[in-house]
Structure 1
Amino acid sequence: MLFHEATARALSDHGVTTVFGVLGDANLYVMDAFQRHAGGTFVSMANEAGAVLAANGYARTSGRLGVATVTHGPALTNTVTALVEGVRDRTPVLLIAGDTAVADRENFQNISQRDVVLPTGAGFEQVRTPHTVAEDLTTAIRRAVLERRPVVLNMPVDFQWEEVAYAPLPPGWLPSQAVPPDPEVMDRTVGVVGSAERPIVLAGQGAVTPDARKALLRLASRIGAPVATTLRARDLFRGEPYDLGIFGTLSHQSALDVIARSDCVVAFGASLNKWTTAEGSLLEGKKLVHVDVDRGAPLRHSAVHVGVVGDATAVADGLVAWLDEAEVKPTGFASPKLAERLAARKRHEFPDRGTDSTVDIRTALIRLESRFPEERTLVFDGGRFIHHAFRILQVPEPRAYVHTVNFGSIGLGMGNAVGAAFGAPGRPTLLVTGDGGFMLGGLAEFGSAVRHGLDLVVVVLNDGAYGAEHVQLRDKGMDPAISTFTWPDLGPVATALGGQGLTVRNRAELDEALAAIEHRDRPVLIDVKIDPDAVPAPDY
């Protein structure tokens, strides 16, 4: 078969059903073959960064490999920020990038693509000859899955019409396996956990499977410990009576009180970075047991009393068995009184700062949380609003949350949201973004969402400014005018793009908009007007 047909066939043989991309000279025939001959779906995006971000969002919600494709030169350079985001998100993504012909030195889109990719932290694989495409693609997929990062497969344009012999190849890696812990290490772990009087069980992104959740709850019950999660594992224990919520700088006051009283933290699959530990302050005076399949994780950010290399489920169940054998009694730290306190916890009352022409950001998010379906996929863009959104909006389980601020960039939410919607088609996707992030990276891809008929609601918290910069200038008594914008009214813009656009200037219009989305039949955008000088510090 022809090279482009073989590439499409190899993708299909590796279970790839969806590819996000922007067509160009070096990839259009591959994608045509992927749809016509391999039965795959090509999702056209408006820009190359959006394609890679969509692949990232798809991988996050589906649990499968995300795949994107772009052509050469400027198409690849447009993906740099998205690649860095994927690397820091530790997401398995394959980016098939076309390249100019090796002999075509004067091509005006020619650039050393390897040198573009490697500084992002992504991997790079070259299609060496037309005849090695199946092997090279398999290697790239293998690396993306095992290294948990984007890998770029570089494909010269002049290979596309070469005839090649094709034979399918196996994936080349073993499925995930439970790693049992070392018995000597387990003995020391039991000594630490068994002697604790006020332990907490903490789950991170590496412990968000259903089996791990059950095992951690069994362990927490066995030792009488409340449970908590990192931001990336948010809502893993939602609905449990002793759930403290997020552990770290986003903790509510009741959780902080419990964390302060605890004397031992047993962490599973958590990086324990400075946000989770509040620069280490939340671990002071406590014994720390850190469990992870990555043997480099336990000492990466925090000193530990015992580091355990092993699968979260296997270690948690093993601890329960060892504690039973040693006849260690539960501590009672997770007491009925604590459950009552957590159940009775309500968000603080606050003076609503809304006016006839603006909405209080807290009111907007609280009402959105109560009115939007609980079974949702939640995506945040970056921006000043995010500290409030982190605390107020919830998800049914961790995979339903797509984190997009690993690189501190705004404008990455919409692309992720498109991919997330494809990865979890059975539930609506909610994107919360600022106006700056939407205008930077969301406007064009909202059109993509419309074109593909996605069940997507975009809420733009619109303060007409780059809010984080606005508040800095204002706090120093400087003129914030250079941080402000006169955007068009985004509701009519969304409608012009084929969606349903709604403009919200006060609480009455907010309620009308939230009622309207219950009857949506296309992507919806709600433009919520916010006063940049009335966004309070997130202290509730």
Structure 2
Amino acid sequence: MRAHRRAATALRELGVETIFGLMGEGNMRPLIDFGAIGGTVVAATTEGAAVSMADGYARVGRRLGVASVTHGPGATNALTALTEAVRARTPLLLLTGDTPPRADHLQRFDLRGLAGLAGAGYVRVGAAADTATDVARAVRRAQAECRPVVLDLPVPLQRVEVADGPPLRPAPPAWPGLPDEDELDRALGILAAARRPVILAGRGALDARDEIVALARAVGAPLGTTLLGKGLFAGEPLDLGVLGTLASEVALETVQGADCLLVLGAGLNRYTSVDGALLAGRAVIQVDRDPARIRAAAEVGLVADVRRTAASMREQLVAAGQEPATAHRGDLAELLAAEAARPVAGAEDADGADTIDPRTVMRLLDRVLPADRVVVTDTGRFVYAPWRLLSVRSPADFAHTCNFASIGLGLGTALGAAAGSGRPTVAVVGDGGGVMNLVELATAVRLGLPLLVVVCNDGAYGMEYRHLRLDGDDPAPARCVWPDFAEVARALGARAATVRTAGDLDGVAVQLASLGSDGAGPLLLDVRCDPDLDLADLG
């Protein structure tokens, strides 16, 4: 067979079922072959969206995502989405193929340099005979390093005949097991002596919920999460919810009063740690399988599997006769329950004559949408509403595209999440970011995806509008006039509605409740908002 066929075959042998791509000279033959041998090729409208789709597919499915674009402008068009995936630590393969080595080739571009700029890995197939080996190397690097890898199969090599070797086999991930015994003993000594411990879990702890809950009960610790761990401990009486800058008042007070913070599978970025304020003045124990994520603020840093470490900690503490700490407030569970039931401050009074508060929308969506939904947000000032008010059953059902702080990536990421999960998926985007990739709604229509797109439309680049207002400047330059989102969505084949009032929401409640079960495909809500409403300040 030819090398392009061997590359496609190798991907299938390694367990790849779906590639999100946009065809061009550099990648069309591997894409055609992949579909011909039983793989699924999801054609995107833009290269950036193809990478975002693979990103969402990987994050929600917790597996490798694969995208494919052509060389030159195809690769540069994908650079922003690739950088987002790098910073999200998504295992992703981006298949492309370098141009023929001619100085006058119009699409020549340094693919190795592009990968380096994004922070991605790079594997170039140097000889056609090595195609399968290099594909496997790229796949395993992406999985082991938890980051995108650009796989470059140069066009001149693709047509070279190669021998058909033995089939490849997926390699199991080589995760670390239990931590160093001496370091574990140090951590256990700190935990045993703590009077007010708190446990903070992140995305790296998704498989360890039961073990962490059992450990928390053994040591008497309330449980909190990072934003990406949202919902992990839902239903637990001492669930503090999301900690950091999004924390509730009771949760924040609890962490500030803690003497020990056990951090499991979380990177402790500036938002979670409130620029380090939540780490200062208390012992920090951090467990993560990636040594690069262990913070200098950690008194003990354990490079290990979170689930096995949590189970081992509990077993050893129980065997030693450890009693749960009792210095946290005795009424903490009641306070947390009361806080969860209390309406968001100011939300009832923030609807305008012809605008609606996004929080009003998110609360209704939270009530009426199917419980097994997936939620994906773009980035912008509107994110506080869905982050706080739109729940998910598991952290694996939530993703945001704020890692590179670029607007416009949310819709593509949601498309990949919906295509991979087959479940109702909500994409919450701003008007500026939404209009950038609204054409990709045609892909959702073509695939019949169970997708709800909520456009928080304040007629402005909202974050810039807010900054100008806070600086005392005229925010008018940040205002924008867009096409009618609902009309554009209908032109692309989707259902759509404009929402200005709670009554408008009631009018689409039946469609929302049946999302994913009615087979009607995507639905867009153009939610008209007030740009002067500051969601960051109003809770």
TM bin, normalised by shorter chain, reads over 0.9
Q: Does 1:388 align with 2:385?
A: yes
Matched, 1:13 2:13: yes
- Corresponding residue for 2:35? 35
Q: How does 1:147-158 map to 2 (within 5 A)?
A: 147-158=145-156
Aligned to 2:97, the other structure's residue is in SS state strand
Contact 2:71 2:98 in 1 (8 A): yes
What displacement does 1:97 show?
0.8
> What is the CA-CA distance between 1:173 and the residue it aligns to?
4.4
**Distance (Å, rounded) in 1 between the aligned partners of 2:514 and 2:270:** 43
Once the two structures are superposed, the pairs formed by residues 72-87 of structure 1 within 5 Å of their partners are: 72-87=71-86
Pairwise CA distance, 1:349: 4.1
Q: What amino acid sits opposite 2:356 in the alignment?
A: V
Q: 1:223 aligns with which of 196, 219, 223?
A: 219
Task: Give the Å deviation of 1:333.
Answer: 4.8
2:200, 2:69 → 1: CA distance? 40
Match of 2:466 in 1: 471
Tell me what 2:112 maps to: 114
Aligned-partner residue type, residue 329 of structure 1: E
User: Is 1:486–2:481 an aligned residue pair?
Assistant: yes
Q: Pick from 133, 141, 144 the counterpart of residue 143 of structure 1.
A: 141
Structure 2 partner of 1:66: 65
Check 1:354–1:34 CA distance in 2 against 1; reply closer, same or farther (3 A cut): same
Deviation at 1:337, TM superposition (A): 2.2
Distance, in Å, in 2 between the alignment partners of 1:423 and 1:522 is: 15
1:332 to 2:329 alignment: no
Deviation at 1:69, TM superposition (A): 0.6
C-alpha deviations, 1:427-448, integer Å up to 9, x for none?
A: 20000010001012x3121111
Alignment-mate amino acid for residue 317 of structure 1: A
Kept in 1: contact 2:13–2:169 (CA 8 A): no
Who is 1:354 aligned against?
Answer: 351
Q: For the residues of structure 2 that align with 1:320 and 1:536, how far apart are their CA atoms?
A: 41
Matched, 1:419 2:416: yes
For residue 294 of structure 2, give the secondary structure of its aligned residue in structure 1. Answer: helix
CA distance, structure 1, for counterparts of residue 105 and residue 256 of structure 2: 62
Alpha-carbon deviations, 1:484-524, whole Å to 9, x = none? Answer: 11111111110110010111121211221233333451100
The percent of aligned pairs where both chains have the same amino acid is: 43
Q: Distance in 2 between matches of 1:21 and 1:485?
A: 31
Query: Where do residues 252-271 of structure 1 align in structure 2 (5 Å cutoff)?
Result: 252-271=248-267
Question: Map of 1:207-286 to 2, 5 A cutoff?
Answer: 207-209=205-207, 212-286=208-282
Give the CA RMSD over aligned residues. 1.7
Which residue pairs with 1:503 in the alignment? 498
CA distance in 2, matches of 1:333, 1:147: 41
Distance in 2, matches of 1:91 and 1:392, equals 26
The residue correspondences of 1:501-540 to structure 2 (distance < 5 A) are 501-520=496-515, 521-540=520-539
Is the Cα contact below 8 Å between 2:49 and 2:412 reproduced in 1?
yes
Provide the rounded CA distance (Å) in 2 between the counterparts of 1:125 and 1:4: 15
Secondary structure of the corresponding residue to residue 381 of structure 2: coil
Q: In the alignment, residue 416 of structure 1 is paired with which amino acid?
A: T
1:162-183 deviation per Cα after TM superposition (whole angstroms, max 9, x unaligned) = 2211214545744344511222
Decide which of 394, 397, 402 is 2:394's aligned counterpart: 397
- Counterpart of 2:468 in 1: which secondary structure? helix
**Once the two structures are superposed, what CA deviation does each residue of 1:358-402 show, in whole Å capped at 9, x if it has no partner?**
111221222222222221111000111012221111111011111
Cα pair 2:198 2:260 within 8 Å, conserved: yes
* 1:446-503 deviation per Cα after TM superposition (whole angstroms, max 9, x unaligned): 1111111111000000001001111222233432222111111111110110010111
d(CA) in 1 for partners of 2:149, 2:486: 38
1:197 aligns with 2:191: no
CA contact (8 A) 2:14 2:170 kept: no
Cα-to-partner distance string for 1:385-421 (whole Å, 9 max, x where unaligned) = 0122211111110111112110011001011111111
Q: CA deviation at 1:16?
A: 0.7
Local SS of the residue matching 2:48: helix
Alignment partners' CA distance in 2, 1:384 and 1:60:
23
2:176 & 2:133 partners in 1: Cα distance? 29
3-state DSSP of counterpart to 1:460 = strand
Q: Write the deviation string for residues 9-44 of structure 1: whole angstroms up to 9, x where unpaired.
A: 1111111110000001222222111112x2000000
Residues 176 and 303, structure 2, Cα contact 8 Å, conserved in 1: no
The aligned runs of 1:98-137 (5 Å cut-off) are: 98-102=97-101, 104-137=102-135
Paired residue for 1:461?
456
SS in 2 for 1:165: coil
User: 1:67-120: per-residue Cα shift (whole Å, max 9, x none)?
Assistant: 011111100111111111111011110011122112x33111112222222111
1:126-162, Cα deviation, whole Å (9 max, x unpaired): 1112221111111111111111111111122233332
Give the drift of 1:254: 1.4
SS of equivalent residue, structure 1 residue 533: coil
Q: Matched residues in 2 for 1:472 and 1:175: separation?
A: 45
How many residues are paired up?
A: 532
8 Å Cα contact 2:439/2:492 also seen in 1: no
Whether the 8 Å contact between 2:371 and 2:393 is mirrored in structure 1 is yes
Match of 2:297 in 1: 303
The whole-number CA distance in structure 2 between the counterparts of 1:517 and 1:228 is: 30
Distance 1:30 1:260, change over 3 A: same
Q: Structure 1 stretches of 5 or more lacking a match?
A: none
The amino acid that maps onto 1:444 is V
Distance in 1, matches of 2:205 and 2:376, equals 20
| Cα distance, 1:335 vs structure 2 | 6.6
Q: Label 1:105 to 1:536 Cα distance change in 2 as closer, same or farther (>3 A).
A: closer
Q: Find the aligned partners of 2:501 and 2:276 in 1 and give their Cα distance.
A: 41
Q: Determine the structure 1 residue equivalent to 2:24.
A: 24
Does 2:403 align with 1:406?
yes
Q: How much does 1:2 deviate?
A: 2.0
What code does the residue aligned with 1:275 have? Y
CA distance in 2, matches of 1:183, 1:237: 28
Q: Provide the C-alpha distance between the structure 1 equivalents of 2:87 and 2:217, rounded to a whole number of angstroms.
A: 34
